[in-house]
Amino acid sequence: AGAITESAQVIGEIFIGQKGKLTLLSGKMKTGIEESSLVVNAVKKFYEKREKDFDYIIIDTAAGTHCPVIAALSGSNQALAITEPTPLGVHDLNLILSLTKKLKIKTQVVINRAGIGPEDIIEKIVKKYHTKIIAKIPYSQNIEKKYCSGLPIQNMEIKKIANQLKK
């Protein structure tokens, strides 16, 4: 009796930054904490209080279908699944489309690094889940260099995604 106690502890932090009309809200977990969905939920609770202040809320989450991803998707009305034509990309795409179908979230697909492998299996999965590929971002050393340098990336496929999301 009394061998286990419970106490409150800080497991992460929430950061907010703003430039012009863009607000960035981010969560960071402390090293060694195993349950990241607690931080995801805290970030969501933080922005839900200010939801009326924003035209769009975009949530970026890790790959896969683990608890933090489910927590991030919960309450969303649309998802964008980013994949690539690799065996791991195909596997993860199948999982996320299965999850968003169960959660009844409209999902569209973007193929990143298009051209590095066969895309026919991605097209089969997209058809299976009655969704569509809205853009294919080609593999490009130029994109890679700009990304690594923190520079803006000008690409027609990326602009196409933004326009599709606005609709």
Which of 25-29, 83-87, 136-140, 151-155 reaches the highest mean pLDDT? 83-87
- The 10s digit of each residue's pLDDT in 31-74 is 888 778 888 888 888 888 888 888 888 888 877 788 888 888 88
Phi, psi of 73, deg, nearest 5: -75, -30
Of the pLDDT bands very low, low, confident and very high (cuts 50, 70, 90), residue 89 is very high
d(CA 111, CA 127): 14
Identify the pLDDT of residue 35. Answer: 79
- The 10s digit of each residue's pLDDT in 19-40 is 888 888 888 888 888 778 888 8
- The 10s digit of each residue's pLDDT in 98-129 is 999 999 999 999 999 998 999 999 999 999 99
Q: Is 11 exposed, middle or buried (0-12, 13-18, 19+ CB in 10 A)?
A: middle
Identify the pLDDT of residue 149. Answer: 87
